[in-house]
A and B are shown apart, each in its own frame.
Chain A
Amino acid sequence: MSEKARERWLYLISPIALLAIWQVLLMLGFGDRRFIPAPTDIAVRFWELATDGQLWVDTGATLYRVFAGYVIGAVPAIAIGLIMAMFKPVRIFFDPLIAALFPIPKVALMPLLLLAFGFGDASKIALVATAVFFPVVVNTYAGAANIDKIYWDVAKNYGASSYVMFTRIVFFGALPMIFAGLKIALAVSFVVLVAAEFVASKSGLGYLIWNSWELLQVDYMFVGIVVIGVLGLITAVLFQELENLVIPWKSN
């Protein structure tokens, strides 16, 4: 087995071990399976929801909101972060705004966003976008501002225009930090979206969880939780692959 394949297997061991221990403990009689369903119980429910299609509707709704909000939040955040690093007036303009708005828990904005965008997808997408924006802009700025001075000097000495500076130096120099911000934002976007779906939605995995809780269908609830976990894992792995592809110079 190659080094890489071995690492991939190792990667899977901890979640599988968790499931196995969980299953065994419940089968041995620790815990009440009505309230804490075993992995096999969840699998049965999963199959049920998957075959009747409802699970895919909810998953699709959640993914759509995460994806749309993520793009809407991240793209301007990267642009603004880079421009902040390049132009001091822009930095001075945005700094207090970001400092004041970043610490506000974005879920607290949900009622406001419901007023502005209604109960449809738009309000949830707006929430995700807001939550994604801040970690990305802060990381992008930090990445661009901390580019080693020598690269600015070299670029200037070798005749780089502002445009070349932006597209070839600042952007790439900040890219590792941009990715760090995007990763944080990915986790954050799931967190805020599920919370929003609890209270202000009739679809999505958050809705599935909350609705099942209200009906005390704990096993259905767990299906929602597990699917979110799996989505998080898949997107994180895809992200890592993307990062390796886009930042080949990042030495391991």
Chain B
Amino acid sequence: MNVERRGAAIEINHLRKEFGPPEARVVAIEDISLKIAPGEFVCIVGPSGCGKSTLLRILAGLDTSTGGTIRVEDAGWPVGNAMVFQESGLFPWMNVETNVAFGLMTRGVPKREISARVEAALKLVGLTKFRHHYPHQLSGGMRQRGAIARAFVTDPGMLLMDEPFAALDAQNRTILQAELVRLWEETGKTVVYITHSIDEALLLGDRTVVMTAHPGRIKEIKDIPFPHPRDVMTLQSSPAFGALKLEIWRILESEVQRARAEFEK
């Protein structure tokens, strides 16, 4: 299967982010350089507190960098990016339908077009029957589906996902991972996906970026060669998957321990 890849190209050069007052600067990320091709699915793994979420927030325009540049080539995409957060971030005061329509409403898309696109997006994530439900009436998995629909419906140049399934139980996570694989195979969008699970990175991505513990730098970038369409369950139990997982774990291990040591200091 050849996934038709489309979306923004991203070029990150020597990106740096510091926090805090001048006398107590904390460097969150340092010298991050990364090129992402249109339609590429890039997963970023790293120990907790390595600044991977900061990187994503800068890409999303929710934070500014203190150094370096980001060049995004997203000509032709009406919406630059759409983010999916760890907690769904669906507005509790809007029903599913209104939530999914939000990013279209804010951009002045005509009503009729909104309802057609929302309809399609709800169908894509299987929430059509729950369109009039409020988030508190849904399970965690369904809420996260709603958040994914809200992001995809805007047809963004890139999708930014910040550990979107981390708060789900294992079964729901597997189901949603499979659904995301299918969604991506259909749309071929550029995705930057933050996770702390190597499994997840290998199931979803084209490449895995391994980050160092604080301050976050890129330690190594690994290609994930598994062909599409990917079947999450089969892939997960293949020997090649296990071998690559171990290889990446070896790279990550020392960083995780360093992060822990620093945490316990």
Hey, which bits of chain A sit against chain B, CB under 8 A? Answer: 150-151, 153-161, 164, 168-169, 172-173, 175, 247-249, 251
Contact = CB atoms under 8 A, between A and B. Distances in A.
Secondary structure type dominating chain B contacts: loop
A151 B150 contact: no
B85 A158 contact: no
A138 to B, nearest CB: 21
B144 interface: no
A249 B61 contact: no
**Residue of A158, A159, A249 most packed against chain B (CB within 10 A):** A158
Interface of B: 60-62, 79, 81-83, 85, 87, 89, 91-94, 102-103, 105-107, 134-136, 150, 154
Given A153-B89, A172-B91, A249-B92, A158 B154 contact: yes
B89 A151 contact: yes
A154 B93 contact: no
A164 B105 CA distance: 9
A129 to B, nearest CB: 28
B93 A172 contact: yes
Nearest to B93: A172
Given A150-B85, A249-B135, A249-B136, A157 B62 contact: yes
Contacts of A157: 60-62, 81-83
Contact of B85 (A153, A161, A175): A153
A159 B80 CA distance: 10
Contact of A154 (B61, B79, B89): B89
Nearest to A154: B89
8 contacts: A153-B89, A157-B61, A158-B106, A158-B154, A160-B102, A172-B91, A249-B92, A249-B136
A182 to B, nearest CB: 17
B91 A154 contact: yes
Given A248-B134, A249-B134, A160 B106 contact: yes
Given A158-B150, A248-B134, A164 B106 contact: yes
Contacts of B60: 157
Contacts of A156: 61-62
Contacts of B91: 151, 154, 168-169, 172-173
Given A153-B62, A161-B106, 15 more contacts: A150-B87, A151-B91, A153-B83, A153-B85, A154-B85, A157-B81, A157-B83, A158-B82, A158-B106, A158-B150, A159-B106, A164-B105, A169-B91, A173-B91, A247-B93
Q: Give the 7 A-B residue pairs with the shortest CB-CB distance, closest first.
A: A172-B93, A158-B103, A159-B106, A154-B89, A249-B134, A251-B136, A150-B89
Contacts of B135: 249
A157 B60 CA distance: 7
A168 B135 CA distance: 16
A158 B153 CA distance: 11
Nearest to B135: A249
A157 B107 CA distance: 12
Given A248-B134, A249-B134, A159 B89 contact: no
